Amino acid sequence: MFEPLYDLLMSDVDYEALFHEIKPYLKQDDLIIDAGCGSGYMLIELIHHGYRAIGLDVSTHMLALAEEKMRQQHLMTELYEHDLRKPMIGQADVILAMFDVVNYFKGVKKVFRNIHQALYPQGRFIFDCYQISVLNDYDGYVEDEVDPVVYRWESRVSGHQFIHEVSYDGQTDKIIQYVYDVSYYIHLLESLGFDVEVKPSIDIRKHLVIATKK
């Protein structure tokens, strides 16, 4: 099962630095949806900084990990199992989709439309996405590690597919992402009625995109 390994590998991300990267686009009274919250690290960072934030993820296992983390830290918020390809219930001021969430969708028009509908006017959709260069840089990439656990991570590219095969604890999981030039996302966002700003991410492999609903 990939989720426990993902949770472990994400534990050493500098969430404080990531928070300060997006903080200029947040207001203290915002209601924030962490869409694709995974095992809850960024969600917890937001709550620690005093923001109202709820978590969505398609994986019940990830949500269980997030719930356990919050319980251990005596935190509470709502967590919902949700597929972003389906409309959301209610509206928010900010929707985050960090850690290449959008790269898990072959096409994102429906996802972006649902996010647009779930934002208040002047609401912000903040996400990161891979730069197109990763398709060259990581084709044939292999990572063998023994610390903190034994695993093997192999990546290959087929067209726009960024394919990962991860071997851990006696089984292999295949994860497929889709990488497009950032202009693809900009075009879709603008066609839906967003103003779009693109910045370099603190993760040098990625763009940071801030889309504001008109």
Helix (H, G, I), strand (E, B) or coil at 145: strand
Q: How confident is the model at residue 2 (pLDDT cuts 50, 70, 90)?
A: confident
CA distance 39 to 28: 24
Q: Is the dihedral of CA 159, 111, 203, 62 positive or negative?
A: negative
CATH of domain 2-131+181-213: 3.40.50.150
Closest C-alpha to 79, from 17, 29, 34, 22: 34
Q: What number is the average pLDDT over the span 51-65? A: 98
- Mean pLDDT, the chain, rounded, equals 97
Across the range 177-187, mean pLDDT stands at: 98
* H/E run at residue 34: strand 31-35
Q: Could you tell me the residue ranges of all domains in the chain?
A: 2-131+181-213, 134-175
Q: Give the rounded percent of residues in the chain with a pLDDT score beyond 90.
A: 98
Please report, for residues 52, 78, 168, 185, the alpha-carbon distance to residue 138 in angstroms, rounded to integers and kept in the order given.
37, 36, 20, 21
Give 105's pLDDT tier (boundaries 50, 70, 90). very high
Residues in CB range of 202: below 8 A, 6 or more apart: 14, 17, 18, 21, 208
> Average pLDDT in the 73-81 region?
97
With a cut of 90, say whether residue 148 has pLDDT above it. Answer: no
